[in-house]
Chains A and B, each alone.
Chain A
Amino acid sequence: QLQLQESSPGLVKPSETLSLTCTVSGGSISSAFYYWGWIRQPPGKGLEWIGSISYSGNTYYKPSLKSRVTISVDTSKNQFSLRLSSVTAADTSVYYCARLGVQGASVHRPVDAFEIWGPGTMVTVSS
């Protein structure tokens, strides 16, 4: 059974770069051409998509975050990562990694439903 797990940096200082890694287990990140993504949720608020990446490294970002976001993939470690630069208190959120697309679908898209989620990790931006 496929499982995703976010790393937990916990606390990041304002103006610094937030770095998170998602480790995929129970399956290969390269299989079936799925896309992989990051979503965040500020405390008590709704969900916000950050970006997606294919196993081959093609990336798609939310336009309003694009200047600060880098998503990368390491197939040898079965991981993908998020870097968000110049963070402020507004970036304080629970960050989720997820697999896009539904098992059995004939086509996988960089923007799709999120079928499998990690448990999420809380990141606080504070000095």
Chain B
Amino acid sequence: EIVLTQSPGTLSLSPGERATLSCRASQSVSSSYVAWYQQKPGQAPRLLIYGASSRATGIPDRFSGSGSGTDFTLTISRLEPEDFAVYYCQQYGSSITFGQGTRLEIK
């Protein structure tokens, strides 16, 4: 099973700042089959990025994904108040596993 490790566990930033979230895989993820989700309290996760770098329908262009192999990154270029949430990465190159999440909180 591919283990995904997200860092940092918690990220404290202010609106307008840039956020960089990391997801590291225990082995290479084939075809960059990595997705990112945003989850707010009491809600289901929302797909942001798939295929490591493709934005899902309706996702603002301040969200971007990059990476390959074992290292993947979600970047939020300029934080809006509604972006403060928990973010999960997922790999689907070999079965499906999720990272443990990064909490993005207001500083």
What is the interface of chain A, defined by CB distance below 8 A to chain B?
A: 46-49, 62-63, 96, 98, 102-103, 109, 111-115, 117-120
| Of listed B54, B57, B95, residue having the most chain A CB within 10 A | B95
Q: State in angstroms the CA–CA spacing of A46 and B94 once bound together.
A: 19
List 5 additional contacts besides A115-B50, A117-B44, A117-B46; criterion CB under 8 Å.
Answer: A46-B99, A62-B95, A103-B57, A112-B33, A119-B43
Say which size band chain B's interface belongs to: 20 to 34
What is the interface of chain B, defined by CB distance below 8 A to chain A?
A: 1, 33, 35, 37, 43-47, 50-51, 54, 56-57, 88, 90, 92-101
User: Are A113 and B47 closer than 8 Å at their CB atoms?
Assistant: yes
Closest to B101 in A: A46
Q: Is the interface of A mostly helix, strand, loop or mixed?
A: loop
Question: How many A-B Cβ pairs are below 8 Å?
Answer: 60
User: Are A46 and B98 closer than 8 Å at their CB atoms?
Assistant: yes
Closest to B97 in A: A49
